[in-house]
Amino acid sequence: MAIADTAGHAPHTGKPTGLGRWLFATNHKDIGSLYLWFSFIMFLTGGVMALAIRLELFSPGLQFWQPELFNQLVTLHGLIMIFGAIMPAFNGLANWMLPLMIGAPDMAFARMNNWSFWLLPPAALLLLLSFFVPGGAAASGWTMYAPLSTQMGMGMDMTIFAIHILGVSSIMGAINIIVTVLNLRAPGLTLMKMPMFAWASLITAYLIIAVMPVLAGAVTMVLTDRHFGTHFFNAAGGGDPVMYQHVFWFFGHPEVYIMALPAFGIISQVIPTFSRKRLFGYTSMVYATASIAILSFMVWAHHMFTTGMPATAQLFFMYATMLIAVPTGVKVFNWVATMWQGSLTFETPMLFAIGFICLFTIGGLSGVILSVAAVDTQLQDTYYVVAHFHYVLVAGALFSLFSAVYYWFPKMTGRMYSERLGKLHFWWSMVWFNVTFFPMHFLGLAGMPRRIPDYALQFTDFNSLATIGAFCFGLGQLIVLYNLLISLRRGPPAVEHPWEGAQTLEWRIPTPAPYHSFVEAPEVDADDNGVIHAVRGGTHH
Amino acid sequence: MQTTVESRHYFVPEPSHWPIIGSLALFCMGLGAAFAINEMPVGSFVLAAGVALLVWMLFGWFGDVIREGLRGLYHAQEDMSFRWGMGWFIFSEVMFFGALFGALFYVRVISLPELGNMQHKLLYPEFVPSWPLVSGPGIQATYEAMQAWGLPAINTLILLTSGATVTWAHWGMLRGHRRVLSNGLLLTVILGVVFLTLQMWEYSHALHELNLTLASGAYGMTFYMLTGFHGLHVLLGTLILAVVWLRVRRGHFDERHHFAFEAAAWYWHFVDVVWLMLFVFVYWL
């Protein structure tokens, strides 16, 4: 343009200080850390709600909460965990690691990146404040089905606006990820060579952009039904409450993969590192991830087998759902094949990754069982469904996040976490997770409905067991908090290359990662799954 | 073209206070709107404060971006990022309209015929499904549908013409004909304003003479929601084009560096395509 300014063009070297560093951040590492800490706080917040739910369910009858508050807790637990904990955590990891893994100087839109993050606390605040307005928080379940959601108090309106804000945040975050991956890769790192984590983040971001606007549309229709006289979900004006479910699940099913695909990406980095082998079947992993994403758009009505639809439609959605098990199976077998004859060691990230594979497979298989329309008619809205999705979201998404945080902790902070505490955290979580959620399969098969604060006497034993498990599991998460905090301050300095099996680009830069890494794009000689043979150029400060 | 050395330095902006102001704005807007629609005190003030903050933020933020562009901080790679970003943003908008069109098709193809079938005779004995719906099933008031071949057809012509004028302006940009560029843009903005004016006139006609409101059941709700959100997008597009026109008048852009113009034009064409869908499925068929 008119005035050439090469001085302004070269990146600044200083590291901002004070509160402004976080409030005005444009550095992907700072924003990534904000995302991760925020999501951990939301994880604890949603976790406390989960414990409140389990407390009430420890024994039959109403002990602690009225049914209204119980339903509010169930709703907010779901919303907070999905939109406040899991999605931001994956976004935070993508923020931190993507530029390092693909040799980019930062995210493509660094300022917008800041806005993506800083929209989250206001949205979370709106959700949490809604507990204190007349009528309390939304009590419709996280799915906000009409006509429940078209009837509640103003807490529902706050939830709707919070979802709009969360949507804006995640769409901007997703655009940032896509553009970074497509446009900012280091020369030599072609698409079919880049790390699986980059692929998973890219495809997840695509899903987010495709479905978050649909959720925005659905809740907007709820809003106008509530306040502006429309009849989208009301038969009196020619609408249909079932339509809400169709629109919602068109968002909701891809959303499931938004929370699962990045986990697959993380596991595909961790397993090869600790198996000291290359990822088995890299190309098939890429295609499997893409097929899961495409298929996720045509299975939504399997959430609605009991709400009434033609048998032909039921069959279509049933088979389409089962089809997803194929690419997912490809992934599980590829991970197992990667470990096959590897020189395995079992550091904490690897433990969580193996735990992920075992438990996610259980959750995946119970998903296949639920996909059978005839079976689902029995199991719809029972604790079997609760068991199923907690196997994929807690043992799936959450375990992969722990794996990732332990795996990249030395690179992020320059310090080592305590391996002893890490292993304790893993085994503790592994045991108590199963104590909490495995009995729910039996409860569901025996017919215990979900989202109800009371239950029949014969369900008492398993419920008490699940509550004990949940409190122990929750307590165990303080181990990781303690471990991270203590290691941040007093952990032994991390060596330059803490995992000798790790071969991706982020392990080729100094530890801890310099504040401005790859100010100049490096040229890399790369191989499948981002394995780097040689790096030329690429400066940091 | 850029030299290799130059394109290797990707522009990373300095820390900025605009995003956090934007977050505060959206928080006020969300909270204020929730209070306002529930007739709670101070709701509308908080909402207005949020809107004001947002407008301030947009001026400040885009101002920074324009200044950075003028200082020559954006090169080929940054330009490509902007293009990808705008493309994906428009895709997200497409999906938003997809949800509303999905609702339109659902009520027309599934819920209305179902409400008129034998099983629902007990509930709505009088109801005969038709499109456009003129009353019922549970609504007593009658209303009329908007005719396609009056104002809406004229509006279609206006938007299609504006698509041509913005392309004419682009042609002027690419060949360095500033006059063509400026006039083409101004003409597009004027056509946008004319469209919006006619649309408001149409709404007033619908409200007062056809008795058609948001609460008029399946036809009224899909009509107002789809045309209303489209109208908001035309308004936004017109504002964007007006800003680009003002920048052209100040001598911004040249043959190679004019992403803002292209983004505005893409957005305008997107709004145009949505209108064509609306004209076919809301007004005509």
**CA closest to B138 among chain A residues:** A236
pLDDT tens digits, B33-67: 999 999 988 999 999 999 999 999 999 999 999 99
With CB atoms and an 8 Å threshold, state whether B30 touches A108. Answer: no
Q: Would you say residue B249 lies in a domain?
A: yes
Question: Which residues of chain B lie closer than 8 angstroms to A110, CB-CB?
Answer: 12-13
Structural domain boundaries, residue B156 = 82-106+143-284
In A222-358, the DSSP E strands lie at: none
In terms of CA atoms, which chain A residue is nearest residue B105?
A243
In chain A, which residues have their Cβ closer than 8 Å to the Cβ of B15? 16, 20-21, 24-26
A527, pLDDT greater than 60 = yes
Residue B151 covered by a domain:
yes
How large is the ipTM?
0.95
State residue A541's pLDDT score: 79
pLDDT per position as a tens digit, A167-198: 999 999 999 999 999 999 999 999 999 999 99
Does residue B60 sit in the same domain as residue B165?
no
pLDDT of residue A13: 55
pLDDT, greater one: B121 or B19: B19
Residues B24 and B94 in one domain: no
A241-258 and A261-275 helices cross at what angle (nearest 10)? 20
Counting the structural domains of chain B, the total is 2
Residues A503-516, mean pLDDT to the nearest whole number: 94
Residues of B in contact with A115 (CB under 8 A): 18-19, 22-23
Structural domains counted in chain A: 1
CA atoms of B74 and B283, how far apart (whole Å): 44
A255 is catalytic: yes
Residues in chain A with CB shorter than 8 Å from the CB of B96 are 213-214, 216-217
Q: Do A237 and B115 touch (CB under 8 A)?
A: no
Is B135 a domain residue? no
Domain-embedded: residue B192: yes
DSSP single-letter state for residue A82: I
CATH number at B162 reads 1.20.120.80
B268 shares a domain with B151:
yes
pLDDT score of A213:
98
CATH, residue A331 = 1.20.210.10
Per residue in B120-164, pLDDT (tens digit) is 888 899 898 989 998 879 998 899 999 999 999 999 999 999 999
Instruction: Look at A26 and B81 and tell me if their CB atoms are within 8 Å.
Output: no
Q: Is A406 a catalytic residue?
A: no
Query: What residues of B are in contact with residue A301 (Cβ under 8 Å)?
Result: none
Same domain, B88 and B214: yes
Q: Choosing among B5, B23, B78, which should be mutated to test the A contact, i.e. which has the most A CBs within 10 A?
A: B23
B127 domain residue, yes or no: no
pLDDT, one tens digit per residue, over A321-330 is 999 999 999 9
Task: State what percent of residues in chain A have pLDDT above 90.
Answer: 95
| Average confidence score pLDDT of chain B | 94
Q: What is the mean pLDDT of residues A507-516?
A: 94
Let me know whether B196 and B87 are in one domain.
yes
Residue A208 in domain? yes
Let me know whether B42 and B167 are in one domain.
no
| B138 occurs within a structural domain | no
- pLDDT at residue number B8: 55
Query: Is residue A154 situated within a structural domain?
Result: yes
Same domain, B180 and B261: yes
DSSP chain B: ---HHHHHB---PPP-SHHHHHHHHHHHHHHHHHHHHTT-TTHHHHHHHHHHHHHHHHHHHHHHHHHHHHTT---HHHHHHHHHHHHHHHHHHHHHHHHHHHHHHHIIIIIHHHHTSGGGTTT-TT----SS--S-SS------PPPTTTHHHHHHHHHHHHHHHHHHHHHHHHHT-HHHHHHHHHHHHHHHHHHHHHHHHHHHHHHHTS---TTSHHHHHHHHHHHHHHHHHHHHHHHHHHHHHHHHHTT---SS--HHHHHHHHHHHHHHHHHHHHIIIIII-
CB contact under 8 A, B19 and A178: no
pLDDT digits (tens, 9 = 90+) for A387-415: 999 999 999 999 999 999 999 999 999 99
Residue A17 within a domain: no
Nearest CB to B37; choose among A10, A24, A157: A157
Rounded average pLDDT over B256-270: 96
CA atoms within 13 A of residue A375's CA, in its CB half-sphere: 12
Cross-chain residue pair B99–A12, CB shorter than 8 Å: no
**Pair (B232, B183) in one structural domain:** yes
Model pLDDT, residue B9: 82
- What pLDDT shows up at residue A199? 98
Residue A141 belongs to domain spanning: 22-536
pLDDT tens column, A285-342: 999 999 999 999 999 999 999 998 899 999 999 999 999 999 999 999 999 999 999 9
Has residue A9 been placed in a domain? no
Same domain, B262 and B166: yes
pLDDT at residue B5 above 60?
no
The pLDDT of residue B114 is 92
pLDDT band at B278; cut points 50, 70, 90: very high
Position B4 in a domain: no
Q: How far off is chain B from A157, nearest CA to CA, in Å?
A: 5
